């Protein structure tokens, strides 16, 4: 179904149930997301109503167990959601961060009380989640985190700042990475659940990004924020280990989006070059056009086969850090190369935001940065030597 049929090798990883789900996601994107993208791009954040509607339609927290309000589905359903949001050319809302990352941390490392308190509300879209790791001076180095959560009696007192936080402007619940007083090494890092309306928590306006404007990102500030010790997520000092466990899936999701972006950009560009004339013939009739598109299509097909294998591994709980780093590095760089070619083949119109390829081009660049820069991905891969 959809972009995958543009490629010559049929995909085999999805069942009929997955494809039925795909059709429902595509309808949701058509009816509830695409008509609002211009508004969200201008205001730099999605409206909260779309979260509630997604919750009503069962599109949030699909892999969360049913006892906590989710669908208890496998990660292939998550891949469908990512692909269909990319097909809609919608950088936001941040459903993936909310459902797959924040809810995932709570499900795997939270207490029963934490799961019952937050996951059903997240599945209904009543609470929007964010993950606060990156700091103004830390970048991809999690060991350089300086935000502190100092234990004082039955509470932790948090001070620090985070930046580039997806869903940061609309967030209600923050999974916060902070250091306790145990030291400065990896054993000092812990995760905490912090309500965004707690005294001392403040947000910046949505950050003015080059692309992905429909997806809010913000700075978060913590000034003597007091939380009960029951807000600790998992065990104290285990935060870095928890983060590393989940990063493989996070990076694969970025790669899934990248390959879907290649497929959709190619579809759009083929349609455009067939309909646009120059020097008495269609753009598609020029050898340069055909050869450029042939190169992009071939590279995209090869990437698709690898990513589908990684999706299978993720669904089975077998995806490792090296494989996901390869996926994230290769596919995000491929997406940027493919989109650059597609913009060029659109000519001047490729630089106009009214054309989907232009917005996709500006949105894609950040994917080589977040989730760990692609330079970090190469470092991870090289550790296997």
- pLDDT for 321 equals 94
* Residues contacting residue 353 through CB under 8 Å, at least 6 positions apart: 359, 362
Going from the C-alpha of 97 to that of each of 50, 129, 171, 269, 336, the distances in angstroms are 15, 7, 11, 30, 22
Last residue of a domain, one of 97, 127, 157: 127
- Read off the CATH number of the domain in which 12 is found: 1.10.540.10
Residue 354 and residue 265 share a domain: yes
pLDDT at 28 over 90: yes
DSSP codes joined into one string, 202-224:
EEPPPP--SS-TTS-EEEEEEEE
Lowest mean pLDDT among 1-10, 34-43, 164-173: 1-10
- Counting the structural domains of the chain, the total is 3
Last residue of a domain, one of 189, 218, 237: 237
* Residues contacting residue 34 through CB under 8 Å, at least 6 positions apart: 88, 89, 90
| pLDDT (tens digit per residue) in 83-94 | 999 999 999 999
Block residue for tokens 């990319």: 86
Residue 297 and residue 286 share a domain: yes
3-state per-residue secondary structure call for 223-239: EEEEEEHHHEECCCCCH
Cα–Cα dist 84/39, whole Å: 20
| pLDDT (tens digit per residue) in 121-169 | 999 999 999 999 999 887 667 778 999 999 999 999 999 999 999 999 9
Residue 300 and residue 219 share a domain: no
On average, the pLDDT of the chain sits at 94
| pLDDT (tens digit per residue) in 62-84 | 999 999 999 999 999 999 999 99
Task: Tell me which residue of 159, 93, 168 sits closest to 131, measured CA to CA.
Answer: 168
pLDDT-above-90 percentage for the chain: 91
pLDDT at 21 over 80: yes
- pLDDT for 77 equals 98
Last residue of a domain, one of 89, 110, 127: 127
- pLDDT for 308 equals 98
Residue 273 and residue 225 share a domain: no
- Read off the CATH number of the domain in which 341 is found: 1.20.140.10
pLDDT at 3 over 60: no
pLDDT category of residue 188 using cuts at 50, 70 and 90: confident
pLDDT at 107 over 80: yes
- pLDDT for 186 equals 62
Give me the mean pLDDT over the 283-309 stretch: 97
- pLDDT for 382 equals 96
* Residues contacting residue 143 through CB under 8 Å, at least 6 positions apart: 184, 185, 186, 189, 240
The tokens of 260 are what?
Answer: 């879907």
Buried b / exposed e over 357-366, threshold 16 CB at 10 Å, is bbbbbbbbbb
| pLDDT (tens digit per residue) in 306-339 | 999 999 999 999 999 999 999 999 999 999 999 9
Residue 376 and residue 253 share a domain: yes
Residue 163 and residue 286 share a domain: no
Residue 376 and residue 271 share a domain: yes
- pLDDT for 184 equals 56
Number of C-beta neighbours around residue 276 at 10 A: 15
- Read off the CATH number of the domain in which 219 is found: 2.40.110.10
- pLDDT for 143 equals 77
- pLDDT for 73 equals 97
Residue 375 and residue 256 share a domain: yes
pLDDT at 105 over 50: yes
Radius of gyration of the chain (CA): 21
Cα–Cα dist 315/78, whole Å: 10
pTM beyond 0.75, yes or no: yes
pLDDT at 183 over 90: no
Residue 276 and residue 201 share a domain: no
Residue 362 and residue 257 share a domain: yes
pLDDT category of residue 222 using cuts at 50, 70 and 90: very high
User: Where would I find the beta strands (DSSP E) of the chain?
Assistant: 129-132, 148-152, 155-166, 173-179, 189-195, 201-203, 217-228, 232-233, 277-278, 281-282
161 bridge partner residues: 221
- pLDDT for 8 equals 87
Going from the C-alpha of 351 to that of each of 89, 347, 368, the distances in angstroms are 16, 8, 21
Domain that holds residue 160: 130-237
DSSP codes joined into one string, 169-182:
TT-SEEEEEEE-TT
What are the two backbone dihedrals, phi and then psi, of residue 217, each rounded to the nearest 5 degrees?
A: -135, 140
Give me the mean pLDDT over the 217-234 stretch: 98
Peptide linkage before 93 cis (omega within 30 of 0): yes
pLDDT at 1 over 50: no
List the catalytic residues: 250
Residue 329 and residue 268 share a domain: yes
Residue 43 and residue 108 share a domain: yes
């Amino acid at each position: 179904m959809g972009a995958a049929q543009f490629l010559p090798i049929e995909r085999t990883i999805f069942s009929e149930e997955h494809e039925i789900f795909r059709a429902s996601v595509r309808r949701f994107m058509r009816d509830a997301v695409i008509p609002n993208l211009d508004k969200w791009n201008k205001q730099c954040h999605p409206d909260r109503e779309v979260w509630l509607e997604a919750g009503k339609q069962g599109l949030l927290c699909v892999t969360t167990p049913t006892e906590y309000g989710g669908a208890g589905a496998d990660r292939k359903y998550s891949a469908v959601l990512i692909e269909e949001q990319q097909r809609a050319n919608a950088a936001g809302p941040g459903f993936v961060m909310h459902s797959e990352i924040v809810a995932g941390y709570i499900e795997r490392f939270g207490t029963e009380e934490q799961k019952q308190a937050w996951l059903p509300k997240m599945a209904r879209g009543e609470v929007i989640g964010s993950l606060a790791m990156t700091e103004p001076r830390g970048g991809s180095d999690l060991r350089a985190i300086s935000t502190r959560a100092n234990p004082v009696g039955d509470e932790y007192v948090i001070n620090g700042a985070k930046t580039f936080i997806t869903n940061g402007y609309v967030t209600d619940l923050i999974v916060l990475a902070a250091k306790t007083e145990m030291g400065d090494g990896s054993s000092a890092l812990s995760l905490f659940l912090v309500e965004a309306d707690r005294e001392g928590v403040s947000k910046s306006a949505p950050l003015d990004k080059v692309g992905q404007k429909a997806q809010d990102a913000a700075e978060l500030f913590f000034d003597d924020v007091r939380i009960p010790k029951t807000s600790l997520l998992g065990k104290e000092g285990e935060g870095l280990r928890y983060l590393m466990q989940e990063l493989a899936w996070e990076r694969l999701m970025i790669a899934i989006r990248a390959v879907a972006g290649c497929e959709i950009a190619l579809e759009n560009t083929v349609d455009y070059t067939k309909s646009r004339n120059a020097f008495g013939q269609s753009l598609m009739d020029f050898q340069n056009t055909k050869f450029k598109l042939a190169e992009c299509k071939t590279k995209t097909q090869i990437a698709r086969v690898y990513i589908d294998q990684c999706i299978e591994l993720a669904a089975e709980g077998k995806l490792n850090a090296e494989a996901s780093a390869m996926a994230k590095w290769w596919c995000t760089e491929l997406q940027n190369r493919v989109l650059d070619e597609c913009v060029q083949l659109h000519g001047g119109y490729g630089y106009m935001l009214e054309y989907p390829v232009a917005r996709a081009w500006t949105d894609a660049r950040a994917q080589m940065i977040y989730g760990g820069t692609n330079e970090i991905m190469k470092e991870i891969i090289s550790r296997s030597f």
